[in-house]
Amino acid sequence: MNYYKWLLLFICCVCLACGQPRDQSSELTVYTSRHYAADDSLYAEFQRETGTTIRVVKNKDDTLINRLLTEGAQADADVLITADAARLHRAKNLGLLQPIKSKKLDQLVGESLRDPEHHWYALTLRARIIVHRKDFDTGALRNYLHLSDPQWRGSILVRKSNHVYNQSLVASMIAHYGKARVKTWLQGLVANFARNPSGNDRSQVLALSKGEGDFAIVNSYYLGKMMAATKDKEQNWQEQNEAFSRVKVMFPDQGLDAHGTHVNITGAGVCNGADNVEDSIRFIEYLVSDRAQQVFAATNFEYPIRSDIEVASVLKSWGDFKRNLSGIRDAGIHSKQALMLMQEAGWH
Amino acid sequence: MALRYFRASVCSIVALSRLLPTLSICSLLVIPHLIIVVQLFGPRSSDWLHIVEYLLPAYVLNTCEIVAGVLPISFFLGYVSAWCIGTFDFPGRKILKRALMLPISVPTYVAAYAYYGMFGSAVVGKWGIIIIFSVVLYPYIYLFCLAGFSRESRTLIETARSLGSRTFDVFRRVQFPMSRPALISGLWLVCMDTVNDYGAVDFFGINTITTGVFVVRENFDISESGRFCAWLLILMLLIRGVEDWTRGKRSFSDGHNYVARRRIRMGTVSSVVAVFALLVPIGAGFIIPAISCLTWMVQFSEVADWKHAFEITLRTVLLAASASVLVVWFGLYLSWSCRVRRDTLLHLLVRVCQTGYVVPGVVIGISVMTMLLALDRVIVPIFSYFSIFSSSTFLYGTYFALIFAYCVRFVAMSITACDAAFLRLGMLVHEAARSLGKSPLQVLFMVEIPSIRPTLLIVFGLLFVELVKELPLTMLLAPPDFGTLATLTHMHMKNEDIIVPAIYSSIIMSIGIGSSFLLWTRTGPEADNVSEYRQNK
């Protein structure tokens, strides 16, 4: 009869869509919010070298963390890679990560770049820099606080407040200057916005080069990517190249007594309840190895976490700078408060 | 005496047991709505006060501004094109009549992506989003009004003519007021799709109620997002209620004489003008997005991962197809139960089930999530006690959760269509078959389903297209490694990756166009009234 056909079709669909059961013992499941081709090539290389199959689950950071949270110890994830210390801190506090022992990691990853209780380790560094057009006179602007000066009315370009990069920046400022001062700073900053925050970091630079504002607050690696944009990867590559050539980088908070430019990280940790802890540690060790760090630095324009690895030439041309490494841990502690302060100031 | 009571009680138990499947399906579909409303009465945290004070006003204002901008523009585009097609005759009319519906197959986020790719940051902003929504969503108004124009009463118009009214006067004083119900239905759909959109507004960085739900969900507690959604649900129901109430019981037809009207033949010059004018909405809503996605796809075809694209397409198609079959079945069964049983409670429950389509997808997503997490808290301990299953979640984050959410949201579409089809079929067929000794279910399968098959196919096709491009629900409930064409397009769009969105958007659009084409060729003229099935009465 007719309805049997439909029922059969439905059952077939369900079976096919659910996919085949996986053999979990010989594989490593990596939850990552990094979405770069460079990473994929590294995973493939690790797979070739060790014979461990890697299953990559790419999604938004919060989706991954929420998923781990609801699944608890039974989640199928082994390694969590996510952007920003605030998220790693959150994952740790929620009990999603487990402490790991690895001499190699402790030796290669600096103390300020890892969790004191060994729950997570940084993989790469990015600086949250201020960018302006080459011909623009920045006056006395030397640090983030100066951005709220009324003389810069209508000149600041930045993405939305619910992005973790901004939350961490503000969180580290709360740790440094206190809540009250950051609150007034945010009000001044929002009053200086050139437009309603929209788009990602790259669109801020594009808008800057078109004169829609005078300063953009962006992550360093995006500039490298804009420089390296080519025809076969991006359709507005010319626009990006051009915008890159028109702008100049400024590292804020660089004076002798200043605390350094805000940096954020991407980091990795082993999930609580991972089936394959040994391989997971080996995998993270691989990600801080010479080879992987070189790939991160050269193709993704991130700062390596190790001082003995060479940075990409474009980053080198911007010069060395003082990094606010203590801000990495502060970011986690104050991130929710930072978001609420930003929203109160009208930064959405 | 005792025997009589015994018999009566047995009868009522039998009657109840017959109702049981229907009632359980209904309650399953209604529970998420109830759960979300219950959230309103929970304790208020300081986070909630923060949300109400600093976030809600901005989000609501933005949403209202966008809706207020989209409605008049899409009304203008849809209404004028329907009026042209319905009233005049000119070369190319037949092709244009179909082509004007094409923008429906372009999801809003794909259009936003295409326009951003073409014009850069110039289109980013509220006006950009208003224009994009208008050119993509006007076909709803067009379809409803076209159906209205081509079936409008000849008597009324000819009376108006004979009383000395000219073409424009007839339009202003007769045709326009008569098309009000169709117009309202179309505007309502446009309004719902605008509020429901997540991909495009998120891509442009505009905070609406829908993106607000995600912000609250990601940065605060799930109960806060639940409460947020409850207000949204109440708001949408209120708007809908006001519309129903103002329409009241006024009649908008003279009840007979729905003869296709003779169209007015246009002169050469006006024909050319009309054709070019009608090409504007088609170009903006379909040709520009489709051509740009296709060009980028061709441009990047060498570096693209076609194997992966094929896997994702297969997975999306299977998910959408299986969910559509299930939704059609649920809708058919519920509609049919209401047809054969005159039970007030049942009718009421089925009505409540239909609210799913009135509220935005995120609301359903959050409520289904809340419900499944609560159920998991009960089920999992029991299961692990008997060591049947040992995971902390059993329902949440599975393929099942996603399909269930699709059912809650889309079953209204199926119920409405089946109701209409059963109404056309009439009860006589059913009673005749019953009197020949068949049971109600036998009648359903042997007589009723074959007779309303075209309707079921159309609903299936529409649901399928809708589910292929569905974004907010899928984003909230799909397992993290279960990317569909829509969610992957959105994810890569946000990362300003060009290759993947170009390919996946082209696939989504081709699936949309392909299915609509199949529907038209397979089911004939009935498919012309497709958008009526989306109307939630």
Query: What is the nearest CA distance from A106 to chain B, expressed in angstroms?
Result: 31
Query: Are the Cβ atoms of A35 and B491 closer than 8 angstroms?
Result: yes
Query: Are the Cβ atoms of A63 and B315 closer than 8 angstroms?
Result: no
Would you state the pLDDT for residue A257?
A: 85
Q: Is the pLDDT of residue B295 over 80?
A: yes
A303-324 average pLDDT score: 91
Assess contact for A32 and A57: CB atoms under 8 A: yes
Assess contact for A261 and A254: CB atoms under 8 A: yes
Q: Is the pLDDT of residue B252 over 80?
A: no
Is pLDDT larger for residue B419 or for residue A236? B419
pLDDT band at B279 (very low <50, low <70, confident <90, very high): very high
**Class of residue A21 by CB neighbours under 10 A (exposed 0-12, middle 13-18, buried 19+):** exposed
Q: Is B373 an 8 Å CB contact of chain A?
A: yes
pLDDT band at B536 (very low <50, low <70, confident <90, very high): very low
Which one, of B523, B337, B324, B512, lies nearest residue B418 by Cα? B337
Query: What is the nearest CA distance from A308 to chain B, expressed in angstroms?
Result: 30
Chain B segment 104-163 residues within 8 A of A by beta carbon are: 117, 120-121, 124-125
- Say whether B95 sits in a helix, a strand or coil: helix
Chains A and B form CB pairs within 8 A to the count of 128
Q: What are phi and psi of A30, to 5 degrees?
A: -110, 120
Burial B425-463 (b: 16+ CB within 10 A, else e): beeeebeebbeeebebeebbeebbbeebeebbbbbbbbb
Query: Are the Cβ atoms of A35 and B492 closer than 8 angstroms?
Result: yes
Q: Is B480 an 8 Å CB contact of chain A?
A: yes
DSSP state of A193: B
Alpha-carbon separation of residue B194 from B47, B71, B131, B140, B199 (angstroms): 28, 9, 12, 12, 11
Cα(A201)–Cα(A159) distance, rounded to whole angstroms?
6
Q: Is the pLDDT of residue A24 over 50?
A: no
B254-269 average pLDDT score: 68
Q: Is the pLDDT of residue B106 over 60?
A: yes
Torsion of CA B21, B25, B27, B33, to 10 degrees: -170
Chain B segment 380-399 residues within 8 A of A by beta carbon are: 390-393, 396-397, 399
DSSP state of A153: T
Tell whether ipTM is more than 0.95.
no
Q: Is the pLDDT of residue A72 over 80?
A: no
Q: Is the pLDDT of residue A20 over 50?
A: no
Q: What is the number of other CB atoms lying within 10 angstroms of the CB of residue B163?
A: 10
DSSP state of B106: S
Query: Are the Cβ atoms of A10 and B54 closer than 8 angstroms?
Result: no
pLDDT band at B134 (very low <50, low <70, confident <90, very high): very high
Q: Is the pLDDT of residue A330 over 60?
A: yes
Cα(A168)–Cα(A174) distance, rounded to whole angstroms?
10
Structure-token match 């890679």, residue found: A81
Query: Are the Cβ atoms of B54 and A239 closer than 8 angstroms?
Result: no
This prediction has a pTM of: 0.83
Give A-chain residues touching B399 at CB under 8 angstroms. 14, 17-18
Q: Rg of chain A over CA atoms, in angstroms? A: 22
Closest-CA residue of chain A to B372? A70
Alpha-carbon separation of residue B119 from A205, A222, A251, B84, B191 (angstroms): 16, 21, 32, 31, 26
Query: Are the Cβ atoms of B491 and A336 closer than 8 angstroms?
Result: no
Query: Are the Cβ atoms of A232 and B205 closer than 8 angstroms?
Result: no
Would you state the pLDDT for residue B533?
A: 54
Residues 6 or more apart in contact with residue B276 via CB below 8 angstroms:
none
pLDDT band at B16 (very low <50, low <70, confident <90, very high): confident
Would you state the pLDDT for residue B494?
A: 80
Residues 6 or more apart in contact with residue A104 via CB below 8 angstroms:
A285, A288
pLDDT band at A21 (very low <50, low <70, confident <90, very high): very low
Assess contact for B391 and B56: CB atoms under 8 A: no
Would you state the pLDDT for residue B247?
A: 65
Tens-digit pLDDT profile for residues B367-426: 898 888 888 878 877 777 776 655 556 777 778 889 999 999 999 989 988 988 898 888
Is pLDDT larger for residue B36 or for residue A314? A314
Query: Are the Cβ atoms of A14 and B499 closer than 8 angstroms?
Result: no
Tokens of B368: 């289904």
Q: Provide the CA B470 distance to its chain's centre, in angstroms.
A: 10
Tokens of A285: 């060790």
pLDDT band at B537 (very low <50, low <70, confident <90, very high): very low
Q: Is the pLDDT of residue A287 over 90?
A: yes
Query: Are the Cβ atoms of B392 and A17 closer than 8 angstroms?
Result: no
Residues 6 or more apart in contact with residue B120 via CB below 8 angstroms:
A206, A236, A239
Query: Of the ranges A192-206, B62-76, B470-484, B514-528, which is most confident?
Result: B62-76
pLDDT band at A71 (very low <50, low <70, confident <90, very high): low
Residues of chain B above pLDDT 90, percent: 32
Give B-chain residues touching A69 at CB under 8 angstroms. none
Give B-chain residues touching A70 at CB under 8 angstroms. 373, 392-393, 396-397
Would you state the pLDDT for residue A149?
A: 93
Tokens of A193: 């916005």
Q: What DSSP element (H or E) covers B314? A: helix B306-340
Give A-chain residues touching B492 at CB under 8 angstroms. 35
**Class of residue A26 by CB neighbours under 10 A (exposed 0-12, middle 13-18, buried 19+):** exposed
pLDDT band at B285 (very low <50, low <70, confident <90, very high): very high
Q: Is the pLDDT of residue A186 over 90?
A: yes
Q: Mean pLDDT across chain B, nearest whole number?
A: 84
**Class of residue B8 by CB neighbours under 10 A (exposed 0-12, middle 13-18, buried 19+):** exposed
